[in-house]
A and B are shown apart, each in its own frame.
Chain A
Amino acid sequence: MNAIIKLELKKNIQDRGMIFWTLVLPILFTVLFISVFTSGLNEAESQPVILSIVPGYTVMFVFFIMITMTESMIKDQNNGLVARIASTPLSSYLYLLGKWVPYMYIVFIQIVILLLFGKVVYNVPIEQLFYIIVLAFILTFMVTGLGLALAILVKTTNMGIALTQVLALGGALIGGLWMPLEMMPELLQTISRFTPQYWGHQGFREAMTGTLAMGDFFKISSVLLGFGILGFILALIGYPNFLKRTTG
């Protein structure tokens, strides 16, 4: 399994496209939107906007790892690597785990860099560091778990890209990452609670300002873990079919 983790990491580190999606684009968006929404505001008025955009865009952009995960699995399937690995002593479930773990590393590092960027450039507060770190782990588990499910269940890369856009952008819109929830209709505010983006955003924002109560922290963590476990279960259910499509 370690061999797969190392190969996958090496492959992704060399992939400039992935660096663009995971770091460059989120930083550009963060800078752009903060400058647009804070223009003409004083520092005190700007702070809540920045405090919403930095964690909001972090949560939104971690979802795009699902495209890379889908591409990787479909490519392995199409070029015969999955079938070839099935002929080695490695169990198919260790292969699945080996394809999952590297993306956890990548997403965690992505979250750390994006939040650090917010701290260094915009001086966002980081009051409850422990909660932030734990939430970053759980968010990583959640998004890669859903990514794994998507990669296993879709049959083409295009389908994976389309569904990722729906999940990432649709979830960001409904989950209040683009505009304050208070400005949205009541119905949408209710629906937003069914999106992982809403919980991730709330958790980070409150932990950054130091207002995240322990009860809320557990509630948010449980919801995000639930989404991640759901993704993992869906991936496990779909995996035999994925192998069947690959190996016959």
Chain B
Amino acid sequence: MEVLKVDQITKKYEKKTALANISLEIPAGVCFGLVGPNGAGKSTLLKIIASVIRNFQGKIRLTNPRMKIGYVPQEIALEETVTAQDNLVFFGKLYGLSGKALTLRIEEVLEEIGLTERAKDKVTTFSGGMKRRLNIGCALLHQPDLIIMDEPTVGIDPQSRRYIFQMIERLKQKGATIIYASHYMEEIERICDEAAFLDHGKVVENGRISMILEKHGKPSIFVSGNDCMPSGLESFGMLQEKAESYLLITRDPLQAMEYIVEYCKRSGSHPERLELAKPRLEDIFFSLTGSQLRE
């Protein structure tokens, strides 16, 4: 069952259309990825869902209108001149928490984001990764059912990124639904169950990631080395040639590989690399949207 329905949302900024009649359904308890290049409309859609933008066409339908939503903006939206604890108290109060309940939740969230030891330190003294974690923590205080994360790993070290992924896993296990926007495809592939591809304000594909990979992803064979390309390879699929290497995208990789190996045996050539590559989300994204630069 879905927790949220995005129903024919259109948002225009003067002459530019940021979102063009977008419809999506976000199922409960999943991590839903929003993928797209800069300017695709990801942040605009998230801001609409989080009620930051209220001037748009279409409808956002929440299954439970009293659902608690936590919004993690793309910017590090913290008051950096005060401590981590002060920021958590501030946002906790804005979400309606107070007294012992607030104190307890702050302790839990500090533990969750790994900042218990630095709670009394000013945010200005934090690293980028710590700020990002606190940025997420401030949206978790009221134990939201739906967590909206807009590129929460931008500009941080691999350790902090991994920590955030683990945090997201724990939130999923606790039953939260997460909408996660990113332009890093490997992140989406790693942590999301479902995804929607956005480009020029439109959804170009959406569904379970495994389904998208199966539907669009074709395995490929990468070969490098001298005289390793038999004639007639085009009959197996699409061939992309480069200097002393080629990539064969095919639906029948084993047969194609056998054909290449047989040819190499006969001709006595030795490939430097002969690899069977599984399809990646990034390749599918480029094949659906093209690879030219956006604005």
Contacts and interface: CB of A to CB of B under 8 A. Distances in A.
A80 B53 contact: no
Interface string B60-89: 000000000101011111111110001001
Nearest to A88: B94
Nearest to B94: A88
A85 B75 CA distance: 13
B135 to A, nearest CB: 9
Contact of B51 (A3, A6, A87, A248): A87
B165 interface: no
Contacts of A2: 93
B13 interface: yes
A10 B86 contact: yes
Interface in B14-67: 44, 47, 50-53, 55
Interface size class of B (residues with CB under 8 A): 20 to 34
Interface of B is mostly: loop
A81 B94 CA distance: 12
A247 B73 CA distance: 11
Given A86-B51, A248-B47, A3 B90 contact: yes
A248 B74 contact: no
B71 A84 contact: yes
Contacts of A86: 51-52
**Residue with the highest number of chain A CB atoms closer than 10 Å, among B47, B79, B80, B86:** B79
Contacts of B50: 87
B91 interface: yes
A83 B77 contact: yes
B71 A87 contact: yes
Contact of B90 (A7, A244, A247): A7
Given A2-B93, A3-B93, A81 B47 contact: no
B95 interface: yes
A247 B80 CA distance: 20
B96 interface: yes
A42 interface: no
A248 to B, nearest CB: 5
B79 A7 contact: yes
A14 B82 contact: yes
A14 B86 CA distance: 13
Given A7-B79, A86-B51, A87-B71, A248 B13 contact: yes
A236 B55 CA distance: 19
A83 B52 contact: yes
Q: Count chain A CB atoms within 10 A of each CB in B52, B55, B77, B86 and give the residue with the most.
A: B52
Q: Which of A14, A83, A87 gathers most chain B CB within 10 Å?
A: A87
Contact of B81 (A3, A11, A247, A248): A11
Contacts of B44: 248
Contacts of A14: 81-82
Interface string A73-96: 000000111011111111000000
A21 B90 CA distance: 27
A11 B82 contact: yes
A15 interface: yes
B71 to A, nearest CB: 4
Nearest to B83: A10
21 contacts: A2-B93, A3-B90, A7-B86, A11-B81, A11-B82, A79-B75, A79-B76, A79-B77, A80-B74, A81-B77, A81-B79, A83-B47, A84-B71, A88-B94, A88-B95, A89-B95, A90-B94, A244-B55, A247-B47, A247-B53, A248-B52
Given A6-B90, A80-B74, A87-B51, 15 more contacts: A2-B93, A3-B94, A10-B86, A79-B75, A81-B77, A84-B138, A86-B52, A87-B47, A87-B50, A88-B94, A89-B94, A90-B94, A247-B47, A248-B13, A248-B44
